[in-house]
């Protein structure tokens, strides 16, 4: 229990929205495993998955480049260490030049990025090293998604922190833009329930089953309760199942049907999502230094 810090309790409370004592007890039971403690609390309380799961933990920018005919595009995340550098023109220009090169040269793998030539004649790696030397921070091309379609590409950037690209057939430019903004706001994980990984569904099913079992209801009722929760969960995390952000009376699936349109795929990047960023306790560092 001594390895459970107040910071861990506070983090679990922030993740779940539950009380400090509940969070502390769960951490004790989980032997200070934050993820396991969150699952314990979800089973007991029926809480939803962490609203802070995959929260932004590093700096940088998401950029997008779309070909002139709207058929090809690249959504790219480039990371740096501070928000100050993320706003620097040198950094922004580098990120945009990488996105353009990916589209123009049809780059499909991250391993190929370093040797890819930019318009200025440098490789991405050469340009990256120059920027690192100039700005004094580590910079990396973290990930990208290349799109090629017979339909059209719509994009949306929320500042430089969130980027969405969507491959859509049918409809007009306004529909594409609206759907890209919807994705940024509602963060679906895939287009339809057929695309949801089975392990993700089973993990939720396990939690719902344990929650429902504690209700004392008959097995057949428990089964119906669980399936009802699963269907609701799938509607929440899939683009087609979500209420359209500009008109919640219709789902995105219904909207697309009305427009005779189809979403083929999409990608959304949030800067630093899933990256652990070391937090520095400057007071503790100063205290440690002055103690010697």
User: What is the DSSP secondary-structure string of 18-49?
Assistant: --HHHHHHHHHHTTT-HHHHHHHHHHHH-PPS
- Sheet harboring 152-158: ordered strands across? 152-158, 162-169, 262-270
Residue 48 domain-assigned?
A: yes
3 and 136 belong to one structural domain: no
Q: Are 76 and 176 in contact (CB under 8 A)?
A: no
Residue 212 domain-assigned?
A: no
12 and 96 belong to one structural domain: no
20 and 126 belong to one structural domain: no
| Number of H-type helices and E-type strands within the chain | 11, 8
Residue 200 domain-assigned?
A: no
160 and 99 belong to one structural domain: yes
80 and 27 belong to one structural domain: no
72 and 114 belong to one structural domain: yes
Q: Are 252 and 239 in contact (CB under 8 A)?
A: yes
119 and 84 belong to one structural domain: yes
31 and 84 belong to one structural domain: no
142 and 8 belong to one structural domain: no
Write the CB contacts of 57 (distance below 8 Å, at least 6 apart in sequence): 272, 273, 274, 275, 276, 277
For residue 217, the SS3 value is coil
Q: List the domain range (segments joined by +) for residue 19.
A: 1-53
89 and 23 belong to one structural domain: no
35 and 65 belong to one structural domain: no
28 and 86 belong to one structural domain: no
| Three-state DSSP string of 176-192 | HHHHHHHHHHHCCCECC
Q: At what angle do helices 6-16 and 34-45 cross, to 10 degrees?
A: 40
User: How many C-beta atoms surround the C-beta of residue 78 within 10 A?
Assistant: 26
Residue 286 domain-assigned?
A: no
Tens of each residue's pLDDT in the chain, 292 residues: 458 888 888 888 877 777 788 888 889 999 999 888 888 887 776 555 444 333 333 799 999 999 999 999 999 999 998 899 999 999 999 999 999 999 999 999 999 999 999 999 999 999 999 988 888 888 999 999 999 999 999 999 999 999 999 999 999 999 999 999 999 999 999 999 999 888 888 888 888 888 877 777 887 887 888 888 888 989 999 999 999 999 999 999 999 999 999 999 999 999 988 776 555 444 554 455 445 4
Residue 197 domain-assigned?
A: no
Instruction: Indicate the pTM of the whole model.
Output: 0.71
């Amino acid at each position: 229990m001594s390895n459970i810090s107040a910071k861990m309790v506070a983090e679990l409370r922030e993740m779940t929205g539950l009380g400090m004592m509940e969070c502390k007890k769960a951490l004790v039971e989980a032997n200070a495993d934050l993820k396991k403690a969150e699952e314990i609390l979800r089973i007991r309380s029926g809480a939803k998955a962490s609203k802070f799961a995959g929260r932004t933990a590093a700096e940088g920018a998401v950029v997008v480049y779309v070909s002139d005919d709207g058929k090809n595009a690249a959504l790219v995340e480039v990371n740096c260490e501070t928000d100050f550098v993320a706003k620097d023109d040198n950094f922004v220009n580098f990120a945009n030049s990488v996105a353009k090169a990916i589209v123009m040269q049809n780059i499909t793998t991250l391993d190929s990025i370093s040797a890819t030539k930019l318009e200025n004649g440098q490789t991405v790696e050469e340009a990256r090293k120059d920027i690192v030397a100039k700005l004094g921070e580590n910079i990396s091309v973290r990930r990208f998604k290349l799109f090629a379609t017979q339909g059209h590409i719509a994009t949306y950037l929320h500042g430089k922190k969130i980027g969405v690209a969507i491959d859509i057939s049918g409809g007009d430019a306004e529909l594409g833009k609206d759907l890209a903004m919807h994705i940024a706001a509602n963060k679906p994980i895939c287009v339809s329930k057929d695309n949801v990984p089975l392990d993700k569904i089973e993990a939720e099913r396990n939690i719902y089953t344990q929650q429902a079992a504690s209700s004392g209801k008959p097995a057949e009722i428990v089964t119906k309760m669980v399936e009802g929760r699963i269907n609701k969960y799938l509607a929440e995390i899939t683009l087609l199942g979500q209420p359209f952000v500009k008109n919640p009376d219709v789902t995105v699936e219904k909207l697309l049907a009305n427009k005779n349109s189809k979403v083929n795929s999409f990608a959304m990047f949030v800067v630093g999502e899933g990256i652990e960023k070391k937090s520095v306790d400057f007071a503790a560092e100063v205290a440690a230094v002055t103690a010697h």
